[in-house]
Structure formats: structure tokens, C-alpha cells
Amino acid sequence: MKRLIFSSLIAAALTASASDLTVLDLSKTATPLEFNAETGAWSETYNDAVTTLESQIFRMAHYANSEWMSWNGFTASNSADNSFRDNFIKYQFSNMAKGGVNPDSPYLIGFYGAFYGEKACSLTFTDGLPHQVQGAYFNLTSYTYYTVEQGDAYCRPFNDGDRLTLTVHGVDAAENEKTVDITLASFADADLTINRGWKYVDLSSLGAVNQLYFTIYSTDQGEWGINTPCYFAMDKLSVETAPAASIAAAHASGLKYDSANKVVTADGFVAVYDCAGRLTASSDSGILDLGSMPAGVYLIKSGAATLKVIR
């Protein structure tokens, strides 16, 4: 089978076997994604009942409010139109590269809305195990690009000293966190720098993580927070199976999460905590059904092993 290796990933591939490396590809979802023919948006973007977008081992958080036609977290797009729009709220699903890294493949659109919670725009792994992050491609959405360049009714165009920064947060099983900052746009010395194409970013410094989450900072702020549209495009996130020592504790405890049935199993006592650190459920039998719990991010612990899951 012909195998394509992006030049930016060669260094990682030299130290990882092909079977260890997983590259996010939205054409490999269990159920093929469908897209709006006019906007390019994933057909489930405004479906309140859909709380995740899953492909291979990747699970991206997704939240929607159909009444207000709003969403947060991640959605998918196949839009190849980066033209200026008078109504960018409707056409918020494009990027400046006119498609994915592979032009005919769908890609992710992330939206960071601080009012949904700092970690709402997050990604975890369906196998519940830690993975060493290698890198990903990032790009500006068309909506953000044109507002940074020209401004609109809600935000001003960037001027000297302005910047737009995407921060990638990597969280390990012990809740330790590392970050990588990515400059999406900056204005310095009378020069506005905005990337119009896909940019590969090395994320290996994050280490082995159980969760990634994404936040955005802009110098254009007002009474209600950031004025700049907090969107970004991401494609081809690559991760490597964590070293055996990193997952030994989970294997030893038998800690697993069945995402299809929303059931946690372990060889002994198991407990579930919410994002605020509150104990929400526990079991001496080693079996916990999370099906009745509200949608959200949970930390599962059994002995020395921990898993972070989104349901």
C-alpha cells in the first residue's frame, strides 16, 4: 500500500514505526461525514445532540445551540472558498489555503469561546491512553483573516503592536500541563504578518498527553472580552503511541473506557471526577456506567492509573 509521508514529519518517522504513528484524517471516520453544499460545514455542526466528532483514535469536543445557531469546540469543513463574505457568520467554515493540506480532504475548524469554559475546545483519545504529540498543520480561517486585515462591525483591523495567538495545551495523566504558542497574526514595525497557507508546527515539546485543548488570545479586546473572531483551522494532527512505561499503569489496573457504551471498567476500585475535581461516581466492582452523566470532560482514576474522557 502506497504510503505518503509529509516532509515535515520525516524526523518523527525516523524514530517511530509506521504502526506507532497516527495522523488525523477526517475521511476515515466510522460514518462518512456529510457537508453543507453551500457553506462547506459538517452537517451536524448545529445538532445539539452531537457532542463529539470522532476519527480514528481522535475524539474532538463539539457543543451546539441550535436555537441560537451557535457552536463551540470543533467542527469539520470541506470548503475550498476563501473569498471575502458580507455574512461571515454563515460562511465561517473556510480557511485561507482553500481546503485541507490534501486539497480534496476535509479539515478541522476550531472555535474558542471563553464563555463555554477554558477547556471546551479540546481533544482526547478514544483508547483512553496517553499519546506523544508530534505536530499538526494550522491556518487562519477566512473570517478571522479578513477581520484582522480589514476589521468589521465588532472588531478593528490590527495595527502596530497587535497580535493573535493560538495556544496548544497538552495535559498528561497526572494533570501536568505544557503549552506551545502559535502566532496566527501580528502587526509590528508597520508590517502586518498573516499566514495564508498551512503551517506545520512541531508540538513534540508537549510530551505524552491524555488531552489537548486550545485557547486564543488577541490584543483587540473590549468590555466583553476578545473582539477578534476566535477561529482556527487544523489538519493532519500526528501522534505516536506513548512509550510502554507511560501506559503500564493503565494496563496494570485494567482501566479502560468503552466509548460506544459509555462504560468504564477496571480491575478494582474506580472513581470518576468532573472538571472541577469533584467526585461524581465510584465503584468497588470496577464497573461504572457513565451513560446518565451530563456531557463533559471527566477524569477516571483506578489505583495509579488515570484516563481523561469526553462524553
Cα 126 to the center of its chain, rounded Å: 13
Residue 248 pLDDT: 54
Span 229-240, average pLDDT? 95
Residue 293 pLDDT: 87
Q: Does residue 1 surpass a pLDDT of 90?
A: no
Residues 235 and 107 sit within 8 Å (Cβ to Cβ): yes
* Distance from C-alpha of 86 to C-alpha of 43, rounded to nearest angstrom: 22
CATH code for 7-242?
A: 2.60.120.1350
Q: Does residue 61 surpass a pLDDT of 60?
A: yes
Gyration radius of the chain over CA positions: 20
Q: Where are the domains of the chain?
A: 7-242, 246-310
Judged by average pLDDT, the poorest of 40-54, 79-93, 124-138, 253-267 is 253-267
Helices (H), the chain: 10-15, 142-150, 244-253
Judged by average pLDDT, the poorest of 3-12, 120-129, 281-290 is 3-12
In a 10 Å sphere around its CB, with 0-12 CB exposed, 13-18 middle and 19+ buried, how is residue 69 labelled? exposed
* Distance from C-alpha of 211 to C-alpha of 309, rounded to nearest angstrom: 9
pLDDT tens-digit map of 235-275: 999 999 866 545 555 555 678 888 777 888 888 888 888 87
Residue 203 pLDDT: 95
Q: Does residue 47 surpass a pLDDT of 60?
A: yes
Judged by average pLDDT, the poorest of 18-32, 44-58, 162-176 is 18-32
- In terms of C-beta distances under 8 Å and separation of at least 24 residues, what long-range contacts does 171-177 make, across chains too? 171/209, 171/210, 171/211, 171/212, 171/213, 171/308, 172/130, 172/207, 172/208, 172/209, 172/210, 173/130, 173/210, 173/249, 173/250, 173/305, 173/306, 173/307, 173/308, 174/306, 175/299
With a pLDDT cut of 70, the percent of the chain lying above it is 88
Largest CA distance in the chain: 64
Judged by average pLDDT, the poorest of 18-32, 222-236, 241-255 is 241-255
Neighbours of 144 (CB within 10 A): 27
Give the global pTM: 0.74
The 3-state DSSP class for residue 197 equals coil
Q: Does residue 115 surpass a pLDDT of 70?
A: yes
pLDDT tens-digit map of 117-170: 778 899 999 988 899 999 999 999 999 999 999 999 889 999 999 999 999 999
pLDDT-based confidence at residue 19 (cuts at 50, 70, 90): very low
pLDDT-based confidence at residue 307 (cuts at 50, 70, 90): confident
Judged by average pLDDT, the poorest of 22-26, 123-127, 220-224 is 220-224
pLDDT-based confidence at residue 78 (cuts at 50, 70, 90): very high
